[in-house]
Structure 1
Amino acid sequence: MSKQPSLFVAHGAPLLAVQQDSYTAFLEKYADALPERPAAIVSITAHWDVPGQLISRRELNGTYHDFGGFPEPLYKLRYDAPGDIGLSDRIAELLASAGVASSFDDSRGLDHGTWVPLLRMFPNADIPVVALSVHSRGTPEHQYRIGRALEPLRNDNILIVASGGLVHNFAYLEWDRGMGVEPQGVPWAMEFDEWIRERVEGWRLGELMAYDRLAPHASAAVPPRAREHFVPLFYAMGAADSTRQAERKYQGYQVGSLSLNFYEFY
């Protein structure tokens, strides 16, 4: 049985579900190159931001179209992947062993932070998916600890996908550039992303966890009151704490500063 990596995956704008570009091609190619088809996927999604810790627990997931103002075909897309009740229960046990209380949610469908990247990576929606919420107001140390509690799952061919985006601030998007994916963004966003890359790949946790004070342009890249897209990085890193190996596999941009980052932790 293969050991799966832990991933931080930028999900960008929902249009990534239908457009063809270098990032969607990368996602499809990456999934094909995994050592083995995952037995299940644990998705930690920026679009489920609540205090505490919630775990989806369903036999069959629905599709949650949690966005507005996009072309009608997007709202007809479905990603009704199966759930895995046993995996949901195991996650709750792992978290409890780490001193983290959790609760189940059996009503919420998969939001676009989960289904947009998974649609490109595993389009048949036939791999069981269990979704986890994030707590963006929690400390980075707590977020990392939750990820670390999940690390044993990787030994059982379970892929951990933390979905968000490192630079994600609607106030700075340059809409006139369109939604196409570009290799470079505006200079300040690229400077922030590069600062993060150096510390992720060097596993400089102390500096990363103080990014809001140390990183250049941190308040523009990660609005202090809207950190939900950034914090999945700490969950993904925690799930690789025993090895602490990281590599940025893809970097691109939409609308100037919306960064599309893909990190593999192995």
Structure 2
Amino acid sequence: MSSTSPATTHKRQPAVFIPHGGGPCFFMDWPDVWDKMAEFLRGFSHTLPQKPDALLVVSGHWETETLTVTASEKPELIYDYHGFPEHTYSLRYPAPGNPALATQICSLLKNAGISATSDPDRGLDHGVFIPFMLAFPDADIPVVELSLRQDLDPAFHIQAGKALAPLRDQNVLIVSTGMSYHNLRHFMTANPKTDQDAVAFDTWLDKAACLPEAERNNALIHWEEAPAARVIHPREEHLLPLMVAAGAAGADQGERIYSDTVLGKALSGFRFG
């Protein structure tokens, strides 16, 4: 990738799974609810070994039949949330894209036997620009987004992450954004049973993500066997980005870097490497 510096001048970047919140939640008058998550995101970049040359992000808000990567030089924003205050549809995040990185991502995936293509027109959804407005507020790091494959096969997404792992040595930060709890019907409702379910799943996920590589990947592939799994994720698109980060981790140990309770529901974020 022509825009990155030689790998020998940088430490290896981690692969991470971070929460992106609910819609444009950080930019609304929503007292206290999202404060801890916002604080975590604002401090996130300071935990990295150095400033990344590029960001490869996998969001829970883009699914395609074939893995697809954004290839625009100036990606627009996709305001894919509904019913929020008018000002949240005027938020700006003018980060550049990186078509050269998009080409390399496709090559890495294809070399691993994974079909992939690029889209020069697709912009960045709110699972990208909302958390990045806090984590990387200067918008001066090129951003390329990779879709999820719409079958949401966890083993496949772990393999895709493995194919992309070499980017970490080129000072590319692999960022998966989603939510470790994502049952919207229960999320806004206080209920002791569903809150307990959230704790049980979160406890399992923390243990699973921090296992040695083979055990970790096996646990994540079989995530539906976790306590209350389908209560927490009636549909798993917000969990699947974690699988890409775990695949890119290789033998690097996972650690929980974010832990919070939002509206009674336990949430976590993880780092590998």
Q: TM-score, normalised by structure 1?
A: 0.90
- Structure 2, unpaired ranges of 5+: 1-9, 29-33
Aligned to 1:251: 259
Identify which of 190, 209, 217 aligns with 2:228. 217
Residues 56-105 of structure 1: CA distance to partner in whole angstroms, max 9, x if unpaired?
A: 00111111110011122211111121001110010011001100111111
Q: Superposition pairs for residues 232-251 of structure 1, below 5 Å?
A: 232-241=241-250, 243-251=251-259
Report the secondary structure of 2:236's partner residue.
Answer: coil
Structure 1: distance between partners of 2:50 and 2:179: 26
Aligned to 1:51: 65
Query: Counterpart amino acid of 2:259?
Result: Q
Q: Determine if the alignment matches structure 1 residue 194 to structure 2 residue 203.
A: yes
Residues 237-257 of structure 1: CA distance to partner in whole angstroms, max 9, x if unpaired?
A: 00111x231100111233333
Structure 2: distance between partners of 1:16 and 1:6: 24
Structure 2: distance between partners of 1:53 and 1:142: 11
Query: Counterpart amino acid of 1:75?
Result: Y
Structure 2: distance between partners of 1:253 and 1:69: 24
Structure 2: distance between partners of 1:255 and 1:15: 16
Report the secondary structure of 2:257's partner residue.
Answer: strand
Query: Counterpart amino acid of 2:24?
Result: L
Aligned to 1:73: 87
Query: Counterpart amino acid of 1:253?
Result: T
Aligned to 1:27: 41
Query: Does the 8 Å CA contact 1:12/1:254 hold for their aligned counterparts?
Result: no
Query: Does the 8 Å CA contact 1:16/1:24 hold for their aligned counterparts?
Result: no
Q: Which moved more, 1:131-140 or 1:82-91?
A: 131-140
Q: Superposition pairs for residues 156-167 of structure 1, below 5 Å?
A: 156-167=170-181
Structure 1: distance between partners of 2:43 and 2:20: 16
Alpha-carbon shift at residue 171 of structure 1 (Å): 1.9
Alpha-carbon shift at residue 138 of structure 1 (Å): 3.7
Alpha-carbon shift at residue 131 of structure 1 (Å): 0.4
Counting aligned pairs with the same residue, the percent is 35
Identify which of 264, 267, 272 aligns with 1:265. 272
Report the secondary structure of 1:228's partner residue.
Answer: helix
Query: Counterpart amino acid of 2:141?
Result: I
Give the CA RMSD over aligned residues: 1.7
Aligned to 2:31: none
Aligned to 1:182: none
Q: Superposition pairs for residues 117-136 of structure 1, below 5 Å?
A: 117-136=131-150
Identify which of 41, 52, 56 aligns with 1:38. 52
Count residues in correspondence. 254
Query: Does the 8 Å CA contact 2:72/2:99 hold for their aligned counterparts?
Result: yes
Query: Does the 8 Å CA contact 2:72/2:123 hold for their aligned counterparts?
Result: no
Q: 1:79 to 1:34 in 2, by over 3 A?
A: same
Query: Does the 8 Å CA contact 2:202/2:267 hold for their aligned counterparts?
Result: no
Identify which of 211, 215, 237 aligns with 1:228. 237
Structure 1: distance between partners of 2:140 and 2:227: 41
Q: Which moved more, 1:50-59 or 1:135-144?
A: 135-144
Query: Does the 8 Å CA contact 2:67/2:117 hold for their aligned counterparts?
Result: yes
Alpha-carbon shift at residue 136 of structure 1 (Å): 4.5
Report the secondary structure of 1:74's partner residue.
Answer: helix
Q: TM-score, normalised by structure 2?
A: 0.88
Identify which of 215, 218, 231 aligns with 1:206. 218
Residues 89-138 of structure 1: CA distance to partner in whole angstroms, max 9, x if unpaired?
A: 10011001100111111112100111111111101111100000002424
Aligned to 1:83: 97
Identify which of 4, 10, 22 aligns with 1:13. 22
Report the secondary structure of 2:62's partner residue.
Answer: strand
Alpha-carbon shift at residue 265 of structure 1 (Å): 0.6
Structure 2: distance between partners of 1:9 and 1:86: 25
Structure 2: distance between partners of 1:71 and 1:77: 11
